[in-house]
């Protein structure tokens, strides 16, 4: 990739990591709270359905994961497998789109 693309890619991975640091903490705290509070699946869905705030939060979470994970895999493919260039970039783009699609479908299922 060109220097410009590589630089934006690097920034995207750092920025998405910063978003994930917050999202993961909030997500874990909520999961532990839900389990310890004895909330059922129906209780949880009752709170998330129609909630724009939860849709936005988990939507952002999914977008950050879809950016961060494929870029990390791209680095691992380059350094551990010696797989670089267009093929590796295309594979990572496919992983990114898959994560985005599956994640947004899941967010839609619990918030819409």
Q: Which residues bind another protein (CB under 8 A)?
A: 1-4, 6-11, 75, 78-80, 84
Q: Quick one: 13 or 51, whose CB is closer to another protein?
A: 13
CB 79 within 8 A of CB 85: no
What is the spatial distance between Cα 103 and Cα 49, in angstroms, rounded to a whole number?
16
Smallest gap, in angstroms, from Cβ of residue 84 to another protein? 7
Smallest gap, in angstroms, from Cβ of residue 86 to another protein? 12
**Structure tokens that stand for 86 in this block:** 């267009």
Torsion over CA: 105, 107, 110, 112 (sign): negative
Smallest gap, in angstroms, from Cβ of residue 1 to another protein? 6
Q: Quick one: 16 or 48, whose CB is closer to another protein?
A: 16
């Amino acid at each position: 990739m060109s220097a410009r693309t590589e630089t934006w890619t690097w920034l995207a991975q750092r920025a998405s990591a910063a978003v994930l640091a917050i999202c993961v903490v909030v997500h874990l705290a909520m999961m532990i709270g839900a389990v310890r509070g004895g909330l059922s699946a129906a209780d949880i869905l009752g709170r998330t359905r129609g909630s724009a705030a939860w849709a936005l939060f988990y939507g952002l979470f999914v977008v950050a994961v879809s950016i961060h994970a494929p870029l990390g895999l791209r680095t691992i493919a380059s350094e551990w497998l010696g797989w670089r260039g267009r093929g590796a970039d295309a594979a990572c783009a496919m992983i990114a789109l898959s994560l985005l699609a599956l994640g947004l479908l899941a967010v839609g299922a619990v918030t819409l």
